């Protein structure tokens, strides 16, 4: 059995205790659950700020940490999508109150008091989770500070249309590994949009292609429907309508609309033809 290193907390020198018997390692550890307390935290391939950014963890997410270094890095696995990597230890804290709400705006600000005239403490990204412990005027008091109530939604609230969610990020800069309004990559956009609709989604495009929906014919692309996912090697785009895609891409260096015919022709030159089209179940199906 071949284990995906992106999703397997195992190295030759160290592995999670639950993998004993499945992998070889010098030692096995149980791990310690920590909470992402920073607005967002980079998850890197190595314990260095220069290492490639593989993904980001958002505030309120839990991480099981298997190693912490003296240089301020922590190696672990994200609870939501299982991704493994190195995070700054300063972005983590002990588990606190269970989150009750999530950020529903592309980005919100947390203030030290219930006033927009105060200097913000932090900016929190879409999808970040917070515990609301009180209210004051039009603000919610959270574990991160006072956040405008219209920018939060209870965790149980799900969006009805993930394509509309993705389109809120039009113009957001392209960032490999990014998962916020400060920067997004193609699969990060899809993961954020689907999560807002209560649909679990892997992090990377190849994992999404294997896990999401059912294949539909892509012979002439005439039968595409809103919400279909078009996959290429290393890329994914969301069908907006029969003529248009929305995707985060390095050609536009942004989340952008693009005619389907033009996108397929352009990407074919560099990466080849689409590898599949996947259709998610419609609500009620």
Q: Which helix (H) or strand (E) holds 266?
A: helix 260-271
- Predicted confidence (pLDDT) per residue in 212-221, tens digit: 999 998 766 7
The DSSP bridge partners found for residue 173 are: 254
Phi, psi of 5 (to 5 degrees): -65, -25
Q: What pLDDT does residue 271 have?
A: 85
DSSP state letter for 119: P
Q: What pLDDT does residue 192 have?
A: 98
Q: What pLDDT does residue 119 have?
A: 98
* 3-class SS of residue 157: coil
Average pLDDT of the chain is 95
d(CA 34, CA 93): 6
Phi, psi of 75 (to 5 degrees): -105, 125
Residue with tokens 């020198």: 13
Residues lower than pLDDT 70 in the chain: 1, 219-220, 283-285
Q: How long a stretch of residues is the chain?
A: 285
Q: What pLDDT does residue 1 have?
A: 63
Q: What pLDDT does residue 195 have?
A: 97
d(CA 269, CA 232): 12
Strand 276-279 and strand 254-259: pairing?
A: unpaired
Six-digit token string for 171: 């113009």
Six-digit token string for 147: 């956040």
Strand 139-142 and strand 84-88: pairing?
A: unpaired
């Amino acid at each position: 059995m071949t284990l995906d290193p992106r999703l397997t907390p195992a190295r030759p020198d160290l592995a999670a205790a639950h993998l004993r018997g499945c992998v070889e390692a010098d030692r096995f550890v149980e791990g310690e659950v920590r909470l992402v307390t920073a607005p967002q935290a980079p998850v890197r391939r190595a314990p260095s700020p220069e290492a490639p950014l593989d993904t980001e963890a958002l505030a309120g997410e839990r991480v099981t940490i298997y190693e912490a270094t003296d240089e301020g890095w922590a190696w672990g696995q994200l609870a939501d999508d299982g991704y493994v990597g190195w995070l700054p230890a300063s972005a983590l804290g002990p588990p606190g109150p269970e989150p009750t709400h999530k950020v529903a705006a592309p980005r919100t600000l947390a203030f030290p008091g219930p006033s927009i005239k105060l200097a913000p403490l932090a900016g929190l990204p879409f999808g970040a989770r917070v515990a609301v412990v009180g209210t004051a005027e039009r603000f919610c008091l959270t574990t991160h500070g006072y956040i405008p109530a219209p920018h939060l939604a209870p965790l149980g609230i799900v969006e009805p249309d993930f394509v509309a969610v993705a389109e809120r990020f039009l113009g957001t800069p392209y960032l490999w590994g990014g998962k916020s309004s400060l920067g997004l990559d193609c699969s990060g956009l899809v993961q954020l949009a689907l999560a807002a609709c209560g649909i679990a989604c892997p992090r990377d495009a190849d994992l999404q292609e294997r896990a999401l929906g059912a294949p539909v014919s892509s012979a002439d692309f005439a039968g595409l429907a809103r919400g279909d996912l078009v996959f290429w090697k290393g890329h994914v785009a969301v069908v907006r309508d029969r003529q248009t895609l929305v995707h985060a891409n390095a050609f536009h260096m942004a989340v952008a609309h693009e005619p389907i015919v033009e996108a397929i022709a352009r990407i074919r030159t560099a990466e080849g033809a689409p590898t599949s089209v996947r259709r998610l179940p419609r609500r009620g199906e």
